[in-house]
Amino acid sequence: MISLTPLDLVLASVLVLALALTSHFAALGLARTLVVVSVRTVVQLLLVGLVLRQLFETTRVSLLLLVVGIMLIVAAREVRSRQARPLAGAWGYSVGALSMFVSSFSVTALALLVVIDATPWYLPQYAIPLLGMLLGNTMSGVSLGMSRFTESAYREKAAIEARLLLGHTAQAATSHLRVEAVRTGLVPIVNSMAAAGIVSLPGMMTGQILAGSPPVEAVKYQILIMFLIASGTGFGVLVSVWLSATRLFDERERLRLDRLDG
């Protein structure tokens, strides 16, 4: 594997700075954002590298659970921040966290225990990368699905209440909104699977090839990851949209848009 020097990374950062300058002169309003997220990327990845090195050397379950908990909390926060009209209060965080926990953690556990059969099953070299990829993709799907549903419910308030007056249940009155929300949440992973290997080489496969792994072995791992991400994202979106739909109605099945922020 060819090692990268700090100078190599500095040269790569010049491209981002050039994009930020272009954004500034074009009055796109993205220059500051590009610089901030670039700095965050460097700091966060360096910290993760240090933590993972320690974690790989010790293989302590307590430390692994701490890292996993932090990942879930940050993911839940990101899910809420990406929505224009998130659920108000703790629900805005808990729905996303619960749906990602149910989907990503169960799929990761299944992969570690049954498919990969790592010994021990919580081996950090496998558990952390797998969970990280699942959480990242599930986070995007969940945020898109929840955002689409809450926005649609807010926009179509009159239509939903008209269906309720005609005798429809809350679930029936919002069934079309839930279907569209789930479809929206699954768009990124469906597009990634459709283009994998033809339009683009997925990240994990590319990384393994650059690290010197045989291409066929890298392909097998990438197929596994794509299937895990698809199932984790799908179940996560389904759970989050269902919980959001349940939260927007009270025990008398009245639409409660006051339970939304924004």
pLDDT at 261: 86
- Spacing of C-alpha 258 from chain mean position: 27
Q: Which residue has the tokens 């989050």?
A: 240
The predicted structure's pLDDT at residue 82:
87
Structural domain count of the chain: 2
Query: Domain check: are 77 and 51 in the same one?
Result: no
Cα–Cα distance, 59 to 128 (Å, whole number):
11
Q: Are residues 33 and 135 in the same domain?
A: no
Same domain for 246 and 133, yes or no, is yes
* Same-domain status, 15 and 31: yes
216-253 residue pLDDT tens:
888 888 888 888 889 999 999 999 999 999 999 988 88
**Does 139 share its domain with 50?**
no
pLDDT digits (tens, 9 = 90+) for 6-23: 888 888 889 999 998 998
Lowest mean pLDDT among 58-67, 148-157, 248-257: 58-67
* Beta bridge pairs of residue 196: 200
- The parent domain of residue 6 ranges over 1-58
Q: Are residues 34 and 162 in the same domain?
A: no
Same domain, yes or no, for 14 and 77? no
What mean pLDDT do residues 172-179 have? Answer: 93
Residues near 174 by Cβ (< 8 Å), separated by ≥ 6? 149, 153, 160, 245, 248
pLDDT tens by residue, 180-211:
999 999 998 888 888 777 766 666 677 777 77
Among 105, 37, 30, 53, which residue's Cα sits nearest to residue 75? 105
Question: How many C-beta atoms lie closer than 10 Å to residue 155's C-beta?
Answer: 12
Based on its alpha-carbon atoms, the radius of gyration of the chain, rounded to whole angstroms, reads: 21
| pLDDT value for 201 | 66
Whether residues 153 and 127 share a domain: the answer is: yes
Q: Are 82 and 108 in contact (CB under 8 A)?
A: no
> Are residue 70 and residue 14 in the same domain, yes or no?
no
Looking at the structure, tell me whether residues 110 and 208 fall in a common domain.
Answer: yes
Q: Which of 29, 31, 35, 136 is nearest to 82 (CA)?
A: 136
Q: Which has the higher per-residue pLDDT, 184 or 261? A: 184
